[in-house]
A and B are shown apart, each in its own frame.
Chain A
């Protein structure tokens, strides 16, 4: 019989191993739309509870914005529910191309191609443009989706120490003999919340004739003075060869992603990228929503300005309370706890106090680097942040970690 007891037990043992190691993840059921406050059923069967959400990628608070909902409804009415097709067969509507052009304008690039997700964009782009004669040189903390995309590509691969421009330069020199070199990094690092040194990377790539790739999923919409991204912040708009980003975070939060950049590279993706060729096109309702989001962001910086102010308040509050944070100025603010069980207990206690924040531990982050990754939103009002801060402080006092160093926390709780 297929799926014998032997196979079943194999997986049961592996799952038990994950549980015994304290690394088992449980889903919570959210019974509301995504917003600064959400209604959560946790554990399953318990009465739904309204809590303040500090762990969504809803950076600009647009995931349930009435204007975005209205645009999505209009998209459903005028362009239907699904296309039942990949892009190149009969899955491209006029609004898909309109969105690609609008993204190019927003990011300051030559062209853009949509993908069902940024995970798909990252999975497809390297294989579409590189061969075994080439090399990918990636920052050691790039997102998992980039790692998966690099694994699918025949090009050679090397890495450089996180954000270490001296080490990157050594690697560019080491690989001078390759046909093409691609330097790969995140604009804002999703687990630590720090920002790439794109201006220095652009200079190095120009010096060594390398292509520069940046995943802007945690930047698009709110990093930089007008929210164009890390390249705007670093003063290098127009100098990034390949940008991938998602519409599933600040840009509406539904789904979808893209490759944006040099027009030849985008066209190569259109001709060869497997997720583009073999996966369903983005639904019209989502395209319509993102178009409206880009309009909102192009007309005013109000939301990204509010996010910036909220972020400063939050970081200052946690720092003054004595938490160990990672350096940075982005709305991704990891509260470092180092021990997986502590991160889970901390999360549960926060939930009891009406704050929704999830513990991150191996394999999502390295062993011994467990944390609560908080993410601030323009949708948060000051009373949300004050209540959340009070709760963090209360739980921090309970576990006696306030004012303690990393080593002191590890000595007490292990890692």
Chain B
């Protein structure tokens, strides 16, 4: 079974990173670190919802909840059926 954190990290690196920040890890600050801005968060939310067949309410899709891969995993698990 896929490791969720690895799947999320792979997407984050593919979607947001270039050679200047290719050392992103599970606890790298993504939003507060400037790697993902608030507009770009939308595509990450969409990816998670499609990948895991969940719906994340907008109120829960906060910059804090999306700030690291670890936190994102926790958020996804809250809404997994």
- Give A contacts to B, CB under 8 Å: 138, 140, 147, 150, 156-159, 161, 171, 366-368
Interchain residue pairs A-B with the least CB separation, the first 10:
A159-B40, A158-B43, A366-B34, A159-B39, A367-B34, A157-B39, A157-B42, A158-B42, A140-B40, A161-B18
Bound complex: CA A147 to CA B37 (Å): 11
Whether A159 lies near B43 (C-beta < 8 A) is yes
- Closest Cβ of chain A to B2, distance in Å, is 21
Question: Using a Cβ–Cβ cut-off of 8 Å, how many residues does chain B contribute to the interface with A?
Answer: 8
Chain B residue contacts of A147, Cβ below 8 A:
39
Known: A138-B39, A159-B39, A367-B34. 18 other contacts (CB 8 A): A140-B37, A140-B40, A147-B39, A150-B39, A156-B42, A157-B39, A157-B42, A158-B39, A158-B42, A158-B43, A159-B37, A159-B40, A159-B43, A161-B16, A161-B18, A171-B43, A366-B34, A368-B34
Q: List 19 A-B contacts (CB under 8 A).
A: A138-B39, A140-B37, A140-B40, A147-B39, A150-B39, A156-B42, A157-B39, A157-B42, A158-B39, A158-B42, A158-B43, A159-B37, A159-B39, A159-B40, A159-B43, A161-B16, A161-B18, A171-B43, A366-B34
- Closest Cβ of chain B to A234, distance in Å, is 23
Bound complex: CA A150 to CA B42 (Å): 13
Report the tally of A-B residue pairs with Cβ distances under 8 A: 21
Bound complex: CA A140 to CA B34 (Å): 12
Bound complex: CA A150 to CA B39 (Å): 10
A156 nearest CB neighbor, chain B only: B42
- Closest Cβ of chain A to B29, distance in Å, is 11
Chain B residue contacts of A150, Cβ below 8 A:
39
Bound complex: CA A156 to CA B43 (Å): 10
- Closest Cβ of chain B to A55, distance in Å, is 24
Bound complex: CA A251 to CA B23 (Å): 44
A161 nearest CB neighbor, chain B only: B18
Bound complex: CA A140 to CA B37 (Å): 9
Chain A residue contacts of B16, Cβ below 8 A:
161
Bound complex: CA A140 to CA B15 (Å): 12
- Closest Cβ of chain A to B19, distance in Å, is 12
- Closest Cβ of chain B to A317, distance in Å, is 27
Chain B residue contacts of A159, Cβ below 8 A:
37, 39-40, 43
